[in-house]
Structure 1
Amino acid sequence: MDPLREHARHETRRHFFGRGANAVGMAALASLLGGRSAAAAGPDSQSMPVGPHFAPKAKRVIYLHMVGGPSQMDLYDYKPTMADLFDTDLPESIRMGQRLTTMTSGQARFPIAPSKYKFAQHGESGTWVSEMLPNTARMVDDMCVIRSMHTEAINHEPAISYMQTGNMVTGRPCLGSWASYGLGSENDDLPTFVVLVARPSNTEQIQAISGRLWSSGYLPGEHAGVSFRTAGDPILYINNPDGVPDHVRRTTLDGLGALNERAHERLGDPEIATRIQQYELAFRMQASVPELTDLASESAATFDLYGPDVRKPGSFANTALLARRMVERGVRFVQIYHNNWDHHGNLANRMPDQCGDVDRPCWGLIQDLKARGLLDETLVIWGGEFGRTIYCQGGLTRDNYGRDHHPRCFTMWMAGGGSKPGTVYGETDEFSYNIVKDPVHIRDFHATVLKLLGFDHERFTFRYQGLDQKLTGVEPARVIPELIA
């Protein structure tokens, strides 16, 4: 028997009616598009954006993820009393039997390592910031600092997955994919969700960054992040091969699209719809991406905002400027990863490099967005996957030390996009070890970000394997109103 006939014979009623719904949806979409091929815009009905539940404060996001877990007590969580406890053991009443990583679980002692950096209060908000971040300190009144983030994950891979997708098990859609699914595109010639991996100036201890972090999971494939390279062609294989002119590529895609549309009509497979749409997007990006990544039109004053590394392809400063250009052109979600924040040792020689990479560009990004009238509707997020321990890992001196992973408390900040400027939320104990006021779980953070994007996290779902899946999962999550302007 012909394989397609065999497939149709075993088709369930649910698949049959689902396929019928797709056909109706395609017909309606075609009428809305004024005759343009519905398949070219995404023939599967689930590929259409859900749309916000209420008026969003943020229409786009730039997420700056510091991979490895920045040390909160060396940057934002000032703990002056620790200076008097140098090299004394962390009290058991503070640690309370906490599960440790294998990197410090065998230590005979847990000696306290006070931060070697000076802190000062800044802005009208009086926010404490380390001397390592002098430019960031200048914009604290634009920032909403959360000092009471916490997670259950204690190792990098599950912790990053948790922070990005709401689950420690990989394979779920990340926040960028949810934003793409919910809001849709503002520019048909560019991806809705873009990923940039910045190269740190110090590469002493690099963590693996898996492409699974920006997959669309169970959402339609078109909502996966598109990774831009930091050297050479921004996107591999997007340009025509030598000897293939545009009109030949266009004819090829038209023929391939027609075949895929016929396959979609027979099978109703949403991945076929995604394939059609991605081919068309790739063709359009041949013209839009070179203009996007060409910084020649930027002024000297703009380059100065981001600092001296901005002209170096792949630097954090360069990716931050690209992120501004992307949101300016309608990209909904830009994810930037900056590596080497996993300071198990030699923090004194590595922290200055890390902060030097990001401090001026973060300040420049906020000033640039503000000057262009984009900050009010662009949410900027900065943070890692967990924090660091107050006790030292390995050898301890007053001038240098290392810190282990710490899930019980860490610091993140937001700016713009309806977040509440000049806010410091949450408190930790004198050891920056336990939260004593206003805890914020990752689920709460995600619920709040979705609120800023115009979504009720309880109703923002996708039907998969018989369940209404959501970013915040099945455990309780709450929006934090104090973080919203």
Structure 2
Amino acid sequence: MNNHPVHTSQHIARRWFLEQCGVGLGAIAVNQLLLESGYAAPKNNTVAQDPLATKQPHHPPKAKNIIFLFMGGGPSHLELFDNKPVLGKFDGKLPPEDLLKGYRAAFIDPKSKFLGPKFKFAKHGESGAELSELLPHLAEVADDIAIIKSMKTDAFNHAPAQIQALTGSQLFGKPSLGAWTLYGLGSESKNLPGFVVFSSGNKGPSGGNSCWGSGFLPTVHQGVMFRGGQEPVLYLKNPPGVSEQLQRDSLDTLKALNQNRLNLVGDPEIATRINSFEMAYRMQSSAPDVMNIAQETKETLKMYGAEPGKTSFANNCLLARRLVERGVRCVQLFHESWDQHGGLVGGLKNNCKATDQGAAALIKDLKQRGLLKDTLVIWGGEFGRTPMVQGGNDGRDHHPNAFTMWLAGGGIKGGTTIGRSDDFGFNVIEDEVPVYDLHATILHLLGLNPERLSYRFQGLDQRLIGVNQAKIVKKILA
């Protein structure tokens, strides 16, 4: 039997209100405390109407933007960064049995013979960074980069390894690093997408659009693919017969209808739709302008090896600089050509010829313009290559146990080399850096706490680093 008095809208007792609504009042108080401490995102009309509005980081950032130079296919650390003279002495010999215990290769018989390094190494800069003869341009900026020779991943095939490298999980459907960055910080650019993607090389990444997707985050955070030529974004131009005034009137009508629906149901995808229409309208003038590298000086074009009107990794590096200058938060460059199961020597020569000059020029250019201190540049692929031979006498298989990446710019201690693999470049033996530690470090440099940056989905607080106890790689921090 209910002993409480019956209340009408005209008469509500104070004791009844406090007894029945105390939890609600507590929730309001707790939410306000979370907002003030930065643990909860504000829910206001500004964010709803502009889902890419800039947000405050968790702590003072060292970097404001990311340029990720992703070398799809798995560059050979043994020919580029991790000099192994001992491996050369074992060329043509079988690996020790204890080295292969529990090892699972992608294609080759793990008992294949060792293949010695194919190129010479030398030390460069005041730091004495050891680099391959294939990287003469990177050697010029050796004191500006931090090299990690102890990267490790869980996957040994391209698609899952690329997805893990860029989303933190081997499973499709998770937000990419760029999407998390936009979600955490928003974008400073009003006329360009906050997250832009380019692709060069033989094909696109094996992981497909998931490498720059938004997963369960609102789709406004996904990357936008830009292309070379006169139409950087497909279907951006008005079709014949559609005037600018007709387009503007149509967009205004659509915006009003979508805004009414957004106010009614609060679906973030409606805010995404509004933002997408308006962004596309502004990009009709801003995108062709930013893609016009012919505006650059002859000296800048020569430094990059860039050629206006063509599609190349060098052009994309220059475009990445032009984009971050205009407030774009994240730029991701894919060069998918590093899968040398055979033809290792020729393939690596071609790849380095296509990418080395542009990547080094990007560091130099950002530094000259005072942008490197705020821009974090990352270079690397999804895994390395085996010390064992594949494809006759000139190829290497996929290898997740040890590989190399380098970083430069915002918050990175240039001229640093950390980590060590064994004498064969097979296993990490010092300063192991799993992929999720790299992600945690990147977020940290951007002013985001990897533990706190989360999104509620399917009853869980999802994070880029997943459930891992990720560590910041402090040895590479300035």
TM-score (norm 1): 0.88
The secondary structure found in structure 2 opposite 1:368 is helix
Report the counterpart of residue 422 of structure 1 in structure 2. Answer: 415
User: Is the contact between residue 53 and residue 188 of structure 2 (CA under 8 Å) also seen in structure 1?
Assistant: no
Over 3 Å counting, the alpha-carbon distance change for 1:39 and 1:99 in structure 2 is closer
The match for 1:374 among 351, 368, 371 is 371
The question of 1:66 aligning with 2:71 is answered yes
1:178-197 CA distances to partner (integer Å, 9 max, x unpaired)?
A: 11111111111111000001
1:173-221 CA distances to partner (integer Å, 9 max, x unpaired)?
A: 10001111111111111110000012x2xx4x87635112211111111
User: Is the contact between residue 51 and residue 183 of structure 1 (CA under 8 Å) also seen in structure 2?
Assistant: yes
The question of 1:453 aligning with 2:446 is answered yes
The question of 1:441 aligning with 2:434 is answered yes
- Listed as ranges, the gaps of 5+ residues in structure 1 are 1-13, 19-23, 30-37
1:402-450 CA distances to partner (integer Å, 9 max, x unpaired)?
A: 0000000000000111111100010000000011100000010000011
The question of 1:316 aligning with 2:313 is answered yes
2:182, 2:48 → 1: CA distance? 18
Report the counterpart of residue 180 of structure 1 in structure 2. Answer: 182
Between 259-268 and 119-128, the greater mean CA deviation after superposition = 259-268
2:381, 2:309 → 1: CA distance? 24
How do 1:326-405 and structure 2 match up within 5 A? 326-396=323-393, 401-405=394-398
The secondary structure found in structure 2 opposite 1:311 is coil
Post-superposition offset of 1:49 = 4.8
User: Is the contact between residue 462 and residue 468 of structure 1 (CA under 8 Å) also seen in structure 2?
Assistant: yes
Post-superposition offset of 1:77 = 0.1
Match of 2:260, as an amino acid? R
Report the counterpart of residue 197 of structure 2 in structure 1. Answer: 195
Post-superposition offset of 1:25 = 4.2
The match for 1:303 among 292, 301, 304 is 301
**Identical amino acids, percent of aligned pairs:** 46
1:39, 1:445 → 2: CA distance? 31
1:422, 1:39 → 2: CA distance? 44
Match of 1:439, as an amino acid? E
Match of 2:139, as an amino acid? A
User: Is the contact between residue 196 and residue 336 of structure 1 (CA under 8 Å) also seen in structure 2?
Assistant: yes
User: Is the contact between residue 207 and residue 340 of structure 1 (CA under 8 Å) also seen in structure 2?
Assistant: no
User: Is the contact between residue 185 and residue 192 of structure 1 (CA under 8 Å) also seen in structure 2?
Assistant: yes
2:205, 2:254 → 1: CA distance? 40
User: Is the contact between residue 53 and residue 187 of structure 2 (CA under 8 Å) also seen in structure 1?
Assistant: no
2:428, 2:364 → 1: CA distance? 32
Over 3 Å counting, the alpha-carbon distance change for 1:25 and 1:93 in structure 2 is closer
1:342, 1:134 → 2: CA distance? 22
Report the counterpart of residue 8 of structure 1 in structure 2. Answer: none
User: Is the contact between residue 454 and residue 462 of structure 2 (CA under 8 Å) also seen in structure 1?
Assistant: yes
- Listed as ranges, the gaps of 5+ residues in structure 2 are 1-23, 29-41
Match of 1:409, as an amino acid? A
Report the counterpart of residue 162 of structure 2 in structure 1. Answer: 160
Quick check: which has more Rg, 1 or 2? 2
How do 1:79-228 and structure 2 match up within 5 A? 79-101=84-106, 103-105=107-109, 109-198=111-200, 200=201, 203=202, 208-228=206-226
1:298, 1:62 → 2: CA distance? 20
Aligned residues: 440
Over 3 Å counting, the alpha-carbon distance change for 1:301 and 1:408 in structure 2 is same
Post-superposition offset of 1:246 = 1.3
1:377, 1:298 → 2: CA distance? 22
1:144-200 CA distances to partner (integer Å, 9 max, x unpaired)?
A: 0000000110100000000000000011110001111111111111110000012x2
2:207, 2:464 → 1: CA distance? 21
User: Is the contact between residue 150 and residue 386 of structure 1 (CA under 8 Å) also seen in structure 2?
Assistant: yes
2:235, 2:371 → 1: CA distance? 32
1:218-270 CA distances to partner (integer Å, 9 max, x unpaired)?
A: 11111110110224410011121112121111100110111111222222211
Match of 2:213, as an amino acid? S
Over 3 Å counting, the alpha-carbon distance change for 1:258 and 1:26 in structure 2 is farther
